[in-house]
Amino acid sequence: MLQGPYSSLDRDRLLIRLPFKSFAVGTVLLPVTGFIACIFISLLYHYEDATYTHCKVSNYLPSISSAISRVPERYIWRGCIGLHSAPRYLVAFAYFSFYRSRFANRLLELLLSGLALLCSLAENTGLVMLTYVSSTETYSVHKYGFITFIGSSLVHMLITCRLWYVIKRHYVSPEEVTSYRWKLRLFLFNISCCVIAAYFFRRHNKYCEAGIYSLFAAFEYLVVFSNMAFHMTAFWDFGSKEVTVATPPEDKRY
């Protein structure tokens, strides 16, 4: 659970106490580290296979799907995403609780908060799906997982920016203003990279030009990194909070 810095929990029953900033950094570092490791290993040990395309033209970077589909890259990525997914679900519900307290008397924002929760859960589920079902195993499941991840991610970012625009107008603090500005910048950057990546992917499939698939892969990387950075803005949103795990107090009434 998320608690303030001066929690009333019985210290004898407290099992884990972790600053949310450390929790947020650790959660995001898992996929970042796994992603970089998979790209590096693919280029170093599986270059020909990882950069191969149906066009058989020169290519210099593997796509994300290609980089996470071989051994040991597959297991590195799956391990990092598996460890990172549970905290992501926790954060999704923490945001929903946060929004409900801020927008108790604003029906539209409450509805958007619920939609943001659903999109966040769908985004994380889509990521888990495309991670554990590689494109070389069951392509259709991997594809739908990718579509779910990208689609729900963009909608979640858009709704989050809208909610934090309202927060910035009515509850001004330096951390909230900084958080809103970075959310908006990262959303605009992310959607721009998505459009550019889609353009290069279509151009590669239509014309089979040398190096175009590498440009698609590069912008695909930027989509992933900007998505991770967007979620890292929780660093400001819950900076004064703590994640605690504790045993419930025993009921002394008989």
Q: Please name which of 137, 140, 144 lies closest in space to residue 78, comparing C-alpha atoms.
A: 137
Mean pLDDT by 10 residues, the chain (254 residues): 50 71 85 95 94 88 90 94 92 93 91 97 94 80 90 97 89 83 97 96 93 96 96 86 71 48
Contact 185, 215 (CB under 8 A): no
How far does CA 7 lie from the centroid of its chain? 29
Q: What is the predicted pLDDT for the residue at 4?
A: 52
pLDDT of 238 reads 84
Q: Would you state the pLDDT for residue 2?
A: 53
Residue-wise pLDDT for 174-193, tens only, equals: 888 899 999 999 999 999 99
- Residue 250's pLDDT is 60
Omega into 31 within 30° of 0, i.e. cis?
Answer: no
Q: Let me know: does 246 contact 22? Beta carbons within 8 Å.
A: no
Q: How many Å apart are CA 229 and CA 215, to the nearest integer?
A: 21
Residues listed for the chain: 254
pTM: 0.87
d(CA 43, CA 52): 12
